[in-house]
Structure formats: C-alpha cells, structure tokens
Amino acid sequence: MKIDILNCNNIDQGTFEIRENCLNIKYAINGTGKSSLGKAVFYSVSDRLEKKSQLLELTPFKHAGDPSNAPQVKGTEEISKVRIFDEAYVSDFIFQADELIKGSFDIFIRNENYEKGFQEIESQVEAIRNLLAEDKDIEGLIKDLAELSGGFGRPTKNGIHASSALSKALKDGNKVANIPPELENYAEYIQRPDNFKWIKWQQDGSPFIDVSENCPYCVGNIKEKKNTIKKITEVYDSKSVQNLNKMVSVFERLNKYFSNDTIIIIKGFIGNADGYTDDQVSFLREVRNQIDRLYKKFVQAQSIGFHSLKDVDKVVEELKTYTIDLKLFSHLQSESTDSKAKVVNDSIKVVLRKAGELQGSINTQKRLIENLVEENRKEINGFLRNAGYSYSVSIKANESGEYRLKLIHNDIDEEISNVRSHLSFGERNAFALVLFMYDVLKSSPDLVVLDDPISSFDKNKKYAIVEMLFRKNRSLRGKTVLLLTHDFEPIVDMVLHHSDRFEKPFASFLDNAHGTLAETEIEKADIRSFIEINYENIQVATHLLSKLVYLRRLFEVTNEKGLGYHLISNLFHKRHNPQIPEDSDMRDMTPEEIAKGNAEVLKEIDGFDYMAALEVVRDDDQLINFYKAATSNYEKLHIYRIFQDDKLRVIESDVIRKFINEAFHVENDYIYQVSSRKYQLVPQYVIDECDKIIEEYRKD
C-alpha cells in the first residue's frame, strides 16, 4: 500500500510503501522523521476508528493554528487495527505487579483450542446437571427441607434457637390442637386454616373491650363473658399461631419422607400441649442434622460443576460422594425418600459412566495447558539464554486457576517481585519487545509498528531479538510489520547474510531533504562491502575529485598508504608548497616518487595527472561549481572539506566540524553498507551548514 504523509512534524510531504504480510524495514539516519512517520500511521487509523484527533499532535510548529496545513495521512483506509511498540505500551502493559505482562493468561494460555476444550467440558457437565434437574419432586423436596431446617433457626447446642419460628410456635405447647376448656366455644375459629387472622382481629379489638359493658362489634352485653374474651389474646398470639401453622404444614408435607417411628414422635412433639421437652429437642436435633445432610446431598447433585481444573483432578471420586446412602439417614427412611434418592443415585450411575469421557476431556485440557506453558516458557527462555541474560521465566497458575508469567533470576529459584527495579534499561527493553510480540500474535492486528526497537543493543542481543521477532514459527514472520530504524545491521543480517533464514523483507532507505520524504528500495545487490562500493564509485563518479576521494578511502581500508595515497593527501590538503608533495614524514617527494605515485593512481583513475588535479583543488570557483552540481551529500561533504582546508572561515559548530572531518575515517563505517552516492547517508542539515559557508565565499 502506498501511503502519503503531509505536514507531520518535520515531514512536509512524502510517500512511502508498506507491503502486506511481510517485514517493511525503513532505514534512515536520525532526524529523518521515523517516529513521526510511525505515529502518523497509528494516529490516522485510531482517529478514524475511535473518532479522535491525535494526528493533530504532529502539527509542525510553523503551521500551528493553521487548519489548512493540518497533518494528513492517506492510504491507511484499509487498515482497521494497528499495534505500536512505544514507551506508552511499556508503561501500561509491561512489568505489572503480579505478572510480566498484563493479561498473560489470555496471551499465553487462552487460545482457540483452550476455549474449545472448556466448552466441551462444560457441555458434558451441563448434561450431568440436566439429568438431575428434570425431577420436579426433587426440587420441591429441596425447598421443603430448606424451609424445615430454617425453622430451627441458627444452630445451637440445644438444637432449637430461642428466636426461631419453631421455638415461637411450640415452646409453650400446641394451643391450637389443645384448646383450653374455657375457650372451647371458640374452637371453630381457633382451628381454622386462617386462625391467625382471627386472633389478630381479636388482638386489635382488645383495647375496646373495657370501653363499655357492650360488645364493640354487636353492642350486645358481654359483662359476664368479658374475662373469657380477654383470655383469647392472653393464650394466643397471631404471629406465634402463624408460625405454628407454617411449621405444622411443613412437617405434614414432609411426613412422607420420615420413617414411621419418626412420624409418631414428631406428631407428639407438634401436638404437645405443654411445650417440648429436652429429650424431644435432642431428638429433633438429630432429625435436623439428617435433614441438613440430605439437603446438601440433593443440592450438590443439582449444582454439579467444575469451575477450574483444580476442581476436577479426581472427577470420579468427586461424583461418588454425591451418592445418597439412606442407611445413614435413620429418620428419613421411607418409600418417598427412597424414590427421590434413587433418582439421584441412578443419575449418578449414568454420570459415572460418562465420567470417563469427562475425565478424558479434562486431561486433554490439562495437557494442552501444560504444552502451552512449556512451549511459551521454552521459547522465551531460549531467547534470554541466546541474548546472554541471566533470567528465565515461568508460567504458574494462581489460586483462581489463571496463569501468570513470572520472572526468575538464574541464581535463585523464586519469583522476582518489582521487576522494573531489578532489570537494566536494556534488559527491560528486550523483555518488553519480546512480550509485545506475543501480545501482537494474540490480538492479530493488520499492522505492527516498531519504532527503532533494537538500535541500542549490542550485536549478539540485537540478532537474538531479530531472530525471536522474525524467524521463529511463532513470531511476526508473515505479519505486516513496519520497522523504523537507524541501524543498518538488521538489513545486512536479513537481506544479505541470512536470507535463507528469514523471509525476504522489503527494505528501503528514507531521506528527508528540507521536509520532503523520499524512499529508495534496498536490494541484496545494494549491500556490499566497503571495498566493493569504493571500486564501483571510482568508476561511476563523474568528477575527478570524487574519484580521488573514493580511491583514498580504498587505500586507507586496504592499508596501502603508499606513494599514490600520499599524492592524493597532498592534493586534498593543499600543502604549503603544493608544487612539491610531501610523504608521511613531511619530506619532499622526489620526481621519481611523484611519478610512481601518479602511476598507482592511474591504475584506478584513467587520465590522472597530479599537476592538473592540483590546479582544480586550488581553484575555488571550480570547487564551488562542482559542490553545487554534486547530487550526493557524501560527495558534497568531501568537496566542502577540500574547499575549506586552507580557509580561515569555517563552520562554527564543533559538532558539525567533527562530523565533516571524521567522514574520512573508515573506522566509523560498517564493513557492509550501501552506496553513499545512491543513498543520502549524510544528513541534510550538515550540508545546509556547508552551503552557508559556500554562499558566503561566493558573495565575497
């Protein structure tokens, strides 16, 4: 895809290409605008999808407040998701308090196969639950058992809590079944199903009994009956009667689940006129205990489920504990209880037959997780070992069964807390970059942006990171990646030396000349040794001085600093007595030595003549014209250096002067490089400073 970028920081305009499903390496010197380019692509996509205006952050200062020159990016319309590795990512996601990267469980474990495995387990468990949920009588029994147990109130040593519904209903005896003789005339009211309402009516009217000798309802004379009427509210309380009705009803509903002997004792208990005895309480405590245990059995059976792999290590043994053995429930041995227990037990038998399948699914899931843990651990630790780091990682489950990526130092066998304080800056960057890769593999964005991520590392670590990111089976290989770098070494590794190990990247050089960004592709043939490039440049350079520059550098790198080398040096440095060149010992060269040196140069540069070349270097107008005509910044830089060698007026900046002077020294270049004639390796701002001096001389 072709992307146009306008008005983004120091980039006024430019076009560059991103090829899909491959690594796109944009090689550029510092100051070109690499970071601005990466942010511009990222912001253009996020602004479109999230209705933001982040791209405006890249507005050049010269266009501040001018909406007509706002930043623009065209060509990213097909990109719907971008991930960028930058400081914000490291700050927000890496080196968390309890794991190396936020969401490590989702990144390293929760993949498609993991989800599929748990769905299969849940499907099998759901089938088990359905078998036990189809019997509506079991559901009703569970509710009744819960209600009866709840009637006892909170558990106490006595078995019946004083504030419980059962205590309030029966502690003073069952006055509904045992009506006092003086109140027998009210039996049809007292023993009605809604008796508590009548008693409540009596309680509400009792304050009016003493208003007169007449009934407050019929106005009949009740002088002789007034004490009897008052006796009703003295003996009966509406709330207690309501509780009594409720508990009696529950006992009657559950009679079919009690053994015959237990039914008889319970009937005596709820029918006792004087309240329950200590022996009856002890008996009821036994009944309640069995009710609670049976209730738990039924509830366990209905709610069977496995919420984490720790819960299912012994599936068959767990299921067997749900079987109901009625011999252990002496008070609940009846045909009805047996029939309900049989439903559960028969279902458990069916489930146990299925348990083999469930156990198999669980073991498969555990093996999957173990393999994922080992695979990820092995990959990351292999990288750490290859890069020379004294650390390793482990992936461990926490109490909830979720896995976390932890850091361990090789000298100790325990997790490192507060990772940020233990790792060096370089170690943090290396870890962060590799962890970012795993995060990207999980989220599968359309484009991954890496802004100069490896330039700060030494050679072995650099290659270890490149291999981890772009060579492994589980890597960014085959993904659309934009790698912005001022480091040429990854291009040498992937395009030249190890093209058999890496998928071919799309490598290019970015040049920014006065705000205009240009891109030039770098092919394998463009990456050559320093010697090869200089031989070629000697042949293709258009001006004699450029040819001499490349030849002098060739003599330097091959350590052939003979007479030809000294002859060229005399030309470039314009000796005080230029007619007679000097050797390295500042001794005048003899005519024979000059002739031999001239012959050495002639082997590589046809038509060379020292005296003719001397006329050129001493002619400022010729040098200035050549400087202006040169299209390579590298050649401009060398012509400028020759020009200003005997001048008093020089560039003021020590930094720029150092850059210019050291451009001659081969030790500052890579063994492998691209041609300085084809690629603008010298920053434009350096040439701009040279331009200023040249223009000043032209004005003089």
Among residues 70, 65, 80, 56, the alpha carbon closest in space to that of 6 is found at: 70
pLDDT at 189: 78
Render pLDDT for 155-165 as a digit per residue (tens, 0 to 9): 666 656 666 66
Counted residue by residue, the chain has a size of 700
Alpha helices in 558-650 (DSSP H): 563-573, 591-602, 610-617, 620-629, 633-643
What is the DSSP track for 430-456?
HHHHHHHHHHHHHH--SEEEEES-STT
What is the DSSP track for 454-469?
STTS-HHHHHHHHHHH
Q: Indicate left, alpha or beta for 426 from its phi (over 0: left) and psi (-120 to 50: alpha).
A: alpha
Render pLDDT for 61-116 as a digit per residue (tens, 0 to 9): 999 889 899 999 999 999 999 999 877 777 766 666 666 666 666 666 666 776 77
Structure tokens at 234: 């003295």
β-pairing, 403-409 vs 672-673, is unpaired
Hey, what domains does the chain have and what are their CATH numbers? 2-95+423-525 (3.40.50.300), 527-699 (no CATH)
Residue 411: pLDDT band (50, 70, 90) is confident
Residue 579: pLDDT band (50, 70, 90) is low
Render pLDDT for 485-525 as a digit per residue (tens, 0 to 9): 988 888 888 898 888 888 999 999 999 988 999 999 999 98
Q: Taking 50 as the threshold, does the pLDDT of residue 11 lie above it?
A: yes
Residue 362: pLDDT band (50, 70, 90) is low
Range name among 116-120, 199-203, 262-266 with the lowest pLDDT average: 116-120
Residue 406 host element (H or E): strand 403-409
Residue 135: pLDDT band (50, 70, 90) is low
pLDDT at 421: 65
What SS3 string covers 67-118?
HHHCCEEECCCCCCCEEEECHHHHHHHECCCCCCECCHHHHHCCCHHHHHHH
Of 13 and 168, which is predicted with more confidence? 13
Render pLDDT for 522-578 as a digit per residue (tens, 0 to 9): 999 888 888 888 888 888 888 888 899 889 888 888 888 888 998 888 888 876 565
- Separation of alpha carbons 434 and 436, rounded Å: 5
pLDDT at 187: 81
Residue 407 host element (H or E): strand 403-409
- Separation of alpha carbons 110 and 372, rounded Å: 9
- Separation of alpha carbons 72 and 81, rounded Å: 18
Q: Taking 70 as the threshold, does the pLDDT of residue 131 lie above it?
A: no
Full-model pTM: 0.61
pLDDT (mean) for 639-649: 77
pLDDT at 483: 93
Find out whether 36 and 9 touch, Cβ atoms under 8 Å: yes
One-letter amino acid at 658 equals K
Residue in the structure block whose two tokens are 């996601």: 93
Render pLDDT for 425-470 as a digit per residue (tens, 0 to 9): 777 777 778 878 888 888 889 999 998 877 767 666 778 888 888 8
Residue 476 host element (H or E): none
- Separation of alpha carbons 563 and 109, rounded Å: 69
Residue 408 host element (H or E): strand 403-409
Of 352-356, 587-591, 653-657, the range with the highest mean pLDDT is: 587-591
Render pLDDT for 264-304 as a digit per residue (tens, 0 to 9): 888 887 777 777 777 877 887 888 888 888 888 888 777 76
Residue 3, strand partner residues: 16
Range name among 17-31, 197-211, 303-317, 330-344 with the lowest pLDDT average: 303-317
One-letter amino acid at 397 equals A
Structure tokens at 127: 């089938």
One-letter amino acid at 416 equals I
pLDDT at 308: 45
pLDDT at 194: 78
Find out whether 272 and 174 touch, Cβ atoms under 8 Å: yes
Q: Taking 90 as the threshold, does the pLDDT of residue 337 lie above it?
A: no
Among residues 427, 308, 280, the alpha carbon closest in space to that of 365 is found at: 308
Q: Taking 60 as the threshold, does the pLDDT of residue 669 lie above it?
A: no
One-letter amino acid at 314 equals K
What is the DSSP track for 530-545?
HHHHHHHHHHH-SSHH
Q: Taking 60 as the threshold, does the pLDDT of residue 643 lie above it?
A: yes
- Separation of alpha carbons 352 and 645, rounded Å: 95
Of 481 and 211, which is predicted with more confidence? 481
C-alpha distances in angstroms, 9 versus 31, 46, 316, 448?
11, 18, 67, 21
